[in-house]
Amino acid sequence: MPDHQQESGFRPNDALPRRKHLRRLDRIFVPGAPLFFLTVCVRERLGVLANPTIAGILVDAWRDSGSDHGWLVGRFVVMPDHVHFFAAPADGSPKGLSAYLRYWKRSTAHEIRRSLPTFAWQREFFDHLLRSAESYGEKWEYVRENPVRAGLVADASQWPFQGEIAPLAW
Give bridge partners of residue 42 from the DSSP assignment: 121
- Position 71 scores a pLDDT of 93
Residue 13, pLDDT score: 47
**How confident is residue 2, by pLDDT bands cut at 50, 70 and 90?**
very low
- Compare 17 and 91 and report the one with higher pLDDT: 91
Q: Which residues contact 66 (CB under 8 A, 6 or more apart)?
A: 72, 73, 90, 166
Sheet holding 126-130, edge to edge: 126-130, 35-41, 82-89, 71-78, 162-164
Domain ranges for the chain: 34-164
Q: Compute the average pLDDT of residues 153-160.
A: 97
Cα angle vertex 148, ends 143, 150, to 5°?
90
Band the pLDDT of 20: cuts 50, 70, 90. low
Query: Which pLDDT does position 4 carry in this prediction?
Result: 43
Q: Which CATH superfamily is domain 34-164 in?
A: Transposase IS200-like (3.30.70.1290)
pLDDT in tens, 51-106: 999 999 999 999 999 888 889 999 999 999 999 999 999 876 667 899 999 999 99
pLDDT band at 132 (very low <50, low <70, confident <90, very high): confident
Write down the pTM of the prediction.
0.79
